[in-house]
Amino acid sequence: MNIRVQKTFEALFALEDIREMLRDAPPYVSGPEDAEAFGKRISDVRAILNDLEAGTGSPQVSKIAGNLNIRSREEEYINIQPIQAAGRLTPEARKALIAYGDGYSTCDSCRKPFRLDKIAKPPIGDFHTELAQFLNMDAARVVPGARRGFQAVTSSLVKPGDSVVVSALAHYTEFLSVEAAGGVVKEAPLNENNIVTADSVANKIEEVISETGAAPKLVMMDHFDYQYANEHDIRGIAKAAHQYDVPLLYNGAYTVGIMPVDGKKLGADFVIGSGHKSMASPAPSGVLATTDEWADTIFRTTQMTGDVTKRKFGVKEVEMLGCTLMGATLIAMMASFPTVRERTQKWDDEVKKSNFFMEKFLSIEGSEVLSEYPRKHALTKVDTTGSFDVVARSHKKRGYFFSHELSKRGIVGEFPGATRAWKMSTYGLSWDKIRYLADSFQEIAEKYELNVNREG
Binding residues among 335-354 for a second copy as defined by CB under 8 A: 335-339
Q: Write out the binding residues for a second copy, residues 125-144 only, by CB under 8 A.
A: 144
Q: Provide the minimum distance between the beta carbon of 18 and a second copy in the complex, in angstroms, as a whole number.
A: 6
Q: Provide the minimum distance between the beta carbon of 319 and a second copy in the complex, in angstroms, as a whole number.
A: 7
Please report whether residue 255 would count as binding a second copy according to CB under 8 A: no
Q: Which helix (H) or strand (E) holds 351?
A: helix 347-362
Binding mask 397-426 for a second copy (x = CB under 8 A): ------------xxx---------------
3-state secondary structure of 317: strand
CB closer to a second copy out of 73 and 264: 73
Sheet holding 379-383, edge to edge: 368-369, 379-383, 421-425
Please report whether residue 209 would count as binding a second copy according to CB under 8 A: no
- Give one DSSP letter per residue of 396-416, joined into a string: TTTTHHHHHHHHHTTEE-SPT
CB closer to a second copy out of 267 and 282: 282
Which residues, 6+ apart, have CB-to-CB distance to 125 below 8 Å? 117, 118, 119
Q: Write out the binding residues for a second copy, residues 141-200 only, by CB under 8 A.
A: 144-145, 147-148, 150-151, 155, 168, 170, 172-173, 175-180, 184-189
Q: Write out the binding residues for a second copy, residues 314-333 only, by CB under 8 A.
A: 316, 318-319, 321-322, 324-332
| d(C-alpha 456, C-alpha 444), whole Å | 17
**Residue 75: exposure state from Cβ atoms within 10 A (0-12, 13-18, ≥19):** middle
Q: Write out the binding residues for a second copy, residues 65-124 only, by CB under 8 A.
A: 65-78, 81, 83-84, 86-89, 91-108, 121-123
Q: Provide the minimum distance between the beta carbon of 118 and a second copy in the complex, in angstroms, as a whole number.
A: 15
Q: Provide the minimum distance between the beta carbon of 442 and a second copy in the complex, in angstroms, as a whole number.
A: 15
Q: Provide the minimum distance between the beta carbon of 87 and a second copy in the complex, in angstroms, as a whole number.
A: 2
| d(C-alpha 233, C-alpha 407), whole Å | 38
Q: Write out the binding residues for a second copy, residues 272-291 only, by CB under 8 A.
A: 275-277, 280-284
- Residue count (the chain): 456
For residue 42, the tally of other CB atoms under 10 A from its CB is: 13
Size of the residue set binding a second copy (CB under 8 A)? 142
Please report whether residue 260 would count as binding a second copy according to CB under 8 A: no
Among 36, 192, 292, 307, binds a second copy (CB under 8 A): 307
Q: Are 289 and 145 in contact, with CB atoms under 8 Å apart?
A: no
Backbone dihedral angles phi then psi of residue 409, each to the nearest 5 degrees: -95, 10
| d(C-alpha 179, C-alpha 251), whole Å | 17
Q: Write out the binding residues for a second copy, residues 6-65 only, by CB under 8 A.
A: 8-9, 11-13, 15-20, 22-24, 26-28, 30-32, 38-39, 42, 45-46, 49, 52-53, 55, 64-65
- Give one DSSP letter per residue of 60-78, joined into a string: ---EETTTEE---HHHHSE
**Residue 149: exposure state from Cβ atoms within 10 A (0-12, 13-18, ≥19):** buried
